[in-house]
Amino acid sequence: MSNIGKEIKDFFCNGFAGRRYDLTGSIIEAEGHDWIVIRTDEGEPIFMNLKGWDKEKYVNDWTTFNYDEEI
């Protein structure tokens, strides 16, 4: 399943993008077997290495994140 074009709704993404807390609104623009590249609202590309992790689970969590449900 392709995740390209999906919008990130989680602001932190479990730390896979370092200590960034501004990832909400980023768009997935490339992906491989165990990695994705997102582009922030400011136009910055960010590579996220998910080797050894369940990429589809995390991407699904990040693109369907609802802050109100997490409280």
pTM confidence score: 0.87
Cβ neighbors of 44 (< 8 A, separation 6 or more) are none
Summary mean pLDDT of the chain: 92
Top-confidence residue, 67 or 5: 5
* Mean pLDDT of the region 37-63: 97
Contact 37, 28 (CB under 8 A): yes
* Mean pLDDT of the region 35-41: 97
* Mean pLDDT of the region 34-59: 97
Per domain, the residue ranges of the chain are: 13-65
* Res. 65 pLDDT band, cuts 50 70 90: confident
